[in-house]
Structure 1
Amino acid sequence: MIGRIQRPVDFERVLARPSRARSAHFALHHLSADLAPSAWAAAKLRTAQAELSTGDAQAAHSPVELVLPAATPGGCWLGMVVPKRHARRSVTRTLLKRQIRAAFAAASGMPPGLWVVRLRSPFDRQKFPSAASDALRQVARTELAQLLDRALAPPKSPKPGTSA
Structure 2
Amino acid sequence: MQRLKTRAQFEAVMAGGRIVARTEHFALHRAPLAPDARPAAAPGPTGPEPPGSPALFVVRQEPWLGAIVPKRWARRAVTRNAIKRQIHTVSLHFEADLPAAAHVVRLRAAFDRAQFRSASSEGLKRAVRAELQRLFSEASR
TM-score (norm 1): 0.71
Aligned to 2:35, the other structure's residue is in SS state: helix
Measured on the aligned residues, the alpha-carbon RMSD in Å equals 1.8
Q: Which structure 2 residues correspond to residues 25-44 of structure 1 after superposition, within 5 A?
A: 25-33=25-33, 36-38=34-36, 40=37
Q: Which moved more, 1:108-117 or 1:121-130?
A: 108-117
Partner amino acid, structure 2, of 1:12:
E
Sequence identity (%):
40
Whole-angstrom CA distance in 1 between matches of 2:57 and 2:113 = 41
Structure 2 unmatched ranges of 5 or more: 39-48
Checking the alignment, whether the CA contact within 8 Å between 1:79 and 1:115 is kept in structure 2 is yes
* 1:134 aligned partner: 122
- Higher-strand-fraction structure: 2
* 2:80 is equivalent to residue 82 of structure 1: no
Partner amino acid, structure 2, of 1:37:
P
* 2:86 is equivalent to residue 99 of structure 1: yes
Whole-angstrom CA distance in 1 between matches of 2:105 and 2:119 = 20
Checking the alignment, whether the CA contact within 8 Å between 2:8 and 2:56 is kept in structure 1 is no
Partner amino acid, structure 1, of 2:140:
L
Whole-angstrom CA distance in 2 between matches of 1:67 and 1:90 = 28
Q: State the 1:100 CA deviation.
A: 0.1
Whole-angstrom CA distance in 2 between matches of 1:117 and 1:80 = 5
Aligned to 1:15, the other structure's residue is in SS state: helix
* 1:55 aligned partner: none
Q: Which has the larger radius of gyration?
A: 1
Equivalenced residue count is 127
TM-score (norm 2): 0.82
- Higher-helix-fraction structure: 1
